[in-house]
Structure 1
Amino acid sequence: MFCVFMYVLCMFCVFLCMCCVCWCVFVYVLCVFMYILCMFVCFYVCFLYVCVTVYFPLNPPPASFPSSYSRSMRSGLRASVLPCCSVCQQRITVGEKNKEEDEGMKNKVSSTQVSVKKRSWSWQQYLNEQKAEAAPPTLFTQSQSFPSRRTGFRLGMKLEGVDPLHPSMFCVLTVAEVIGCRLRLHIDGYSECYDFWVNADSADIRPAGWCKEHGNKLHPPRGHSETDFDWQRYLQSTGSHAAPPTLFTCLTAGCGFRVGMKLEAVDRKNPGLVCVASVADVIDDHFLVHFDNWDDTYDYWCDSSSPYIHPVGWCEEQGRPLTAPQGHPNPEGFVWEEYLQETGSTAAPSSAFTLRDPHGFQVNHRLEAVDRRNPMLIRVATVADTEDYRVKVHYDGWSTQFDVWCDSDLPDLHPVGWCQRSGHPLEPPPGSSPLSSPSQGVCPTAGCRGVGHIKGAKYTGHHSAFGCPYSDINMRKEVVLPDRLGGERVVTLVPVVMHYHGNQSDRQPRRHVEVKMEPRDKTLLFPLGKRRRLTDRLSEPTKFLCVKQEEEELPVRALGPAEPSLQAALHQSVFLSALSAQPGRDLSLCWEQHRKLLPAVAGVHAHSVQHWSVQQVSDFIESLPGCEEQAKQFRDEQIDGRSFLLLTQRDIVRIMSIKLGPALKIYNSILMFKHAKDGSQSHGEDGSQSHGKDT
């Protein structure tokens, strides 16, 4: 109001001067001066108004300024501002309120951040709260301890490495993800579901060209020939580059084992069994244990200090039963000397076995462990129980149903602080920190944040129980993915030349079934939908190999109704012989019960089945009870007699997608055909009379 009054007064004076020129010069000069002063005051007031309401709220004084200076500066500015009107007064008041609200919001955010920092998870605080003790770093092996250097692996680098599901195979791999000192490796040519995690210093990965240099067989990506595969051409065609050899761990130490040596080894998937085994491969100080005449998926790598390997004769000294090779004429009376002579092999020297000392882990020791069900995560864990060479790992904050037994030297176990040192995120116990609390609406499973997927790295997250690795519906699934090799699955066996004579009934295995498998360089089944005869790709003669029977859980209700008169035969014969996870020592296939359940098989030998046409195979499938619908599928796939005898239970169920009930009948028919052939050769006249009665 003051500014307006001064401005009007000056304008009035100027007007009078212009109208009355006769007035004195003094009055004229005074009016002009008043006009200039009024304009200056107006500009100054406007400048202060802008500073107070706009500039200072957005640009506070530097922190280096004394707080007293800031307060005096702002109070001085406010004191120098004289509200010219009620509107100006309102604007100034609103500006001050907005400024105060902004400052309050900033203080609120900063306090929240401070509280998060105060509540952030730390090992030391957790150990103090739990009154627990961290496992001493000296208990961990070199592969488990803190990394000595930062990893130089980068995304897209190519390398060679062992497939963890097929330990005898070296595959072409690509670095798909790098987290700290851990790598997610992708098997070239196959789905991301089969990706797996390893430490950057793992002995299971090698630089490109290592297999060729050391004489190992490299399995190239799908679609590439093993004989024609060349690393340089492959790198050029994919536009990628190989990982430098300097990134890999160099191991030069050797061991006293040589390829072909015999030993006694524990079946890691069935720890109650000690079996006849052979050294299938040797790399540095590690060697590959292969069980004679068993599927190579049961092979495993170890060193000479492993508690799972023993010299020849160990079982006899310890009074433990030794599982003889499949097909041995007298498994109960197995003699090592005779077996070594018949196979032309030698026993591994006792001096090569250097059993390591038991571990020093104690119950309640804390450590960091890779989540077995979700390997992309490393969790806070506790040693829940111990054995001489194994520990039971409990993931803190989770149910005991997720506890796992593992070897004390497993590379997935690490000392406290390993994640922080290596740059890998650590998953605190659920609910112990804001970061570990599950997000609402992500996954219904308690404690799960929706990270990871039951089907592997192909999916980075999930939002339902179907994809959750910890949900009840997935807890009972030991194998959720089909075999990566699928129809091209072939076994690798150490050559064993045996000449058996004796009663066929003595050759029934306790845990195995005898099936025909094709040579490694052939494909067992082509993808469904391609109308191509299997015999076109089976030009080489087949041979008998022994494949370990898969263990599958089969609820009785899933089998469907059966005739009351055949109920006992159904469970004791067909289903028990094909699916039992722990069959009895003297369990043999009950052929008489098989014939009652599958009358079309009686009297038919494998040597006649292998000459069947596609139509004959289809007619036979149609004659089996409940397999009428599957007959058309066999006909469409052009499966003749020879291909039919090569089928395994896995092929029928997973590749041809036939339901379990019909698949069991079909598969057991194949077993009966082969038994009829072998039985006729070993039983002679008795077997012929038996078949004659059945017909």
Structure 2
Amino acid sequence: MNQDALESDADSGQDMTEFNWDDHLEETGALSVPHHAFKHMDQGLQTGLTPGMKLEVPARGEPDGAYWVATIITTCGQLLLLRYEGYHDDRRADFWCDVITADLHPIGWSRQQGRPMRPPEGVREKHQDWESLLEKSLSESGSAPANLLEGAQRGCNPVDLLSPGLSVELVDKEDAEVVWGAVIEDNVGGRLRLRYAGTDGLSDTHSITWSFYLNPLLHLPGWAKEHGCTLRPPSVLLPLRTKEEWDEVRQAITDQPQDANISEEFYKDRPAISPHCFSEGMKLEAVDPVAPFTISPASVVKVFNDQFFLVRMDDMREEAERKGGSRLFVCHRDSPGILPAQWSFKNGVKLSPPLGYQGQDFDWADYLKQCEAEPAPQHCFPSDPSDQCFKESMMLEAVNPVCPQNIHVATVTKVKGQHIWIRLEGMKQPVPEIITHMDSMDIFPVSWCETNGYPLQYPRKPKVEKQKKIAVVQPERHRVPAKDSAPDALKQPLNSQTEMSQTNGKYSCPKIYFNHRCFSGPYLNKGRIAELPQCVGPGNCVLVLKE
């Protein structure tokens, strides 16, 4: 595959129109993949403060700055809906506050600081013995953690904690027992641009890698030492520095300080890795990581532990004929891109034979006999969930696997099990569809780039000047009031009908339009706004609002 073909046409010199998702979906007649289909998106929006946690807040209306206990009812990003202790199920006094700007503290803070504690007037009316209520609240567990209400982590979600300049550790893609350090250069909505430690001044080709923050191979400083892993730079970087220079960088990685508070928030939303049952020598099918347009036979060549194992794409060529080395990649049980043998045949998908395979038609039975190997059992792979949100012709945004700094407008062209084939738009030349998993962290809902201020690669078309519309204003005509020709006997029924229609009109809702192009701000999700209809109504007010 030509590298130029996988690059976008963004640098074309033509005068191009600006891209708008609403217009593009309307022109193509396509639907966007629902926002909730991207499971990795919403996890990073939580601040760690959850419903049921208790904290201390100023008691409204109290002149001496007294505080009182409140419970978190619900959260929306950094916004909290609170209810004073003592109101129980009464929602009338609930109030919203911003965790960044509000005066919030963990349980026990007021007494430590010598501040008075007294409930607002509404609670005092309900509870004459409010001192007992206070003591009961202070003795119960469930306080919001102090680090989430005070200090640098106040109101921060896990994504916000990973700021540029922070050091991390990356497990080697070809060896789960090897780790190397990296520094975050940019954080785009949880998608991290990382520079390997010790590569300052070197070309970005091998020095830069991209990773979503939930990647199970990404860790905080100190993880390698704690788990007994070897600190070694990726093999492609080794020749670029002397041994002494790498030793110096290795020592700097080892000396990186650890932050327990960040560590707790970083790992709490990380999906748990299930134990696998793969063993060395098992055969399977896999999406080729070097050319993610094909599915080919592969083998388990090493088992590191009960979580990780190493897969290699099968290559039957002579050693001297192999260019670029073996195609190895670390996997776990739920890794996208690994499939049981015969999966392609059962799903009507083309299976590319191993490089160097002698024969016209590939047959798994003959191949297993030739290799004297056994296929990985079906139970080694996770079962496919019944609910699928991805449909053919739906649109989304996807990372270009060969140029990972580029995110493209993309179209789903095929759905098979939990894998989808997507066509990247905005390419210089047509390229084969990319094969990826529905849970891939390299696909995003429409408008994700716009929401995070990142450039989107889109299909370009020449700019067309629209004809200006000229409004013609007609001269106002003077109307002559019509004579009242209705008999007096009919006036009363007509008047009563008019009054009735006006009365019913109070409950009639006109058509409501949704502006999909508006600036959504930090609290509204652009992808979910895009899922709203163009308009609702008119009709009964209650029914329209429900719709």
- TM-score greater than 0.5 by the shorter chain: no
Normalized per residue, the structure richer in helix is 1
Q: If the TM-score is normalised by the length of the shorter chain, which range does it land in?
A: 0.3 to 0.5
**Structure ranking higher on relative contact order (CA contacts 8 Å, 6+ apart):** 2
